[in-house]
Homo-oligomer: A and B are copies of this chain.
Amino acid sequence: MSIPIVKLSRGIHVMHQFYRIDRLRWSALSESARGEALACLQAVRARYAAASHPRICTYANVGGKADLAFIAYASELAGVGEIHRAFEAAFPVGTLAPVYSYLSVTELPEYVTTEEDMKNTLVHAEKLEPGGEAFEKRMAEMRARQAEYEHYRLYPELPDWEVMAFYPMNKRRQGGDNWYALDFAARKKLMAGHARVGRKFSGRITQLITGSTGIDDWEWGVTLVAHQTDALKEIVYEMRFDEVSARYGEFGPFYVNLRLDPGDLWVHLGL
């Protein structure tokens, strides 16, 4: 066998999948076939249990669009497909119907903090003398924090909070509201305001932004984890007034999910 190894220059592949259970076929399964499916899914979850990747996390969808979902993380393209097939193979054939899927990759934010940005912060906000000892110490700290942040963006380890929401999005290209016609500085400034809203929700919302231009039907995938449903509403609503979203954001479907390992999934869904 010679499945090609397709990696990224940096970062990993991320896959979101949402399914319905075919209740008619499920009801025809024997008790032991259901138990076997659960054991099989638990084995898949155990096999892909790295903190970052390869990893699979399972969810119950709430709201009626789907029954269950997973997010998979893998360095190779075939690898993410392999987790996908392993998840599906855990279910007796015909009991799982696909509802929605999304493929994206982790990426560094385009408007990343530069050495220049750090210097400006130290000189203007912290009033430090460039080249001085205090300055260099703070620069080292800032570089380390930035490196850590960039590592998180490329090899994310989302906290295992109770609720997960997913939606894809675009930046608008339309008449006077054309994001891609703005210059870099204007975009960076707009995104900085956007990031400030995100930071206000620290501790309530953790977000993972993955890139999908050229890969799936929207430009980014947004995964939010939270402890409360209204935190999801508040952050997305508050950001909607931010010029980045107000003028340039276009949003796909929203999926709200409960973080449940296979055993609890079985209980919650009555499988």
Could you tell me which A residues sit within 8 Å of B by CB distance?
1-11, 13, 15, 17, 23-24, 26-27, 60, 62-65, 77-78, 80-81, 84-85, 88-89, 93-94, 98, 101-103, 105, 107, 162-163, 165, 167, 173-178, 180-181, 211-217, 219, 224, 227-237, 240-241, 243, 245-247, 249, 253-254, 256, 258-260, 263-264, 267-270
- Interface SS of chain A: mixed
Q: A211 touching B228 by the CB < 8 A rule? A: no
Cβ-defined contact, B63 with A258, below 8 A:
no
B214 touches A232 (CB 8 A): yes
Q: A254 — which chain B residues lie within 8 A by C-beta?
A: 212, 214-217
* Contact partners of A213 in chain B: CB under 8 A: 233, 236-237, 240
> Distance (Å) between the CB of A213 and the closest chain B CB?
4
Do B214 and A165 touch (CB < 8 A)? yes
Q: Which of A63, A233, A258, A270 has the most CB of B within 10 A?
A: A63
Q: Determine if A2 and B264 form an interchain contact, defined as CB atoms under 8 angstroms apart.
A: yes
Q: Which B residues are in CB contact (< 8 Å) with A260?
A: 3-4
**Quick check: B246 and A180 within 8 Å, CB to CB?**
yes
A/B interface sample: 23 pairs, CB < 8 A: A1-B264, A3-B267, A6-B163, A8-B229, A9-B228, A11-B230, A23-B94, A60-B81, A63-B101, A63-B102, A63-B215, A63-B216, A64-B98, A64-B103, A77-B163, A77-B229, A107-B233, A173-B249, A211-B237, A212-B254, A214-B237, A215-B233, A215-B256
When the two chains form their complex, are residues A62 and B81 in contact, meaning their CB atoms are under 8 A apart?
Answer: yes
Q: A228 touches which one: B7, B17, B85 (CB < 8 A)?
A: B7
B178 and A246 form a contact (CB under 8 A): yes
- Bound Cα distance from A62 to B89, whole angstroms: 16
Number of identical monomers bound together in the oligomeric complex = 5
Closest 8 CB pairs of A and B: A64-B101, A214-B236, A63-B103, A180-B246, A4-B162, A24-B94, A213-B237, A214-B232
Q: B residues within 8 A CB of A60?
A: 81
A229 to B246, CA, bound (A): 31
B228 near A3: Cβ-Cβ < 8 Å: no
Name the B residues within 8 Å of A237 (CB-CB): 211, 213-214, 219
CA distance A77 to B3 in the complex (A): 33
Q: How far is the CA of A84 from the CA of B2 in the complex (A)?
A: 26
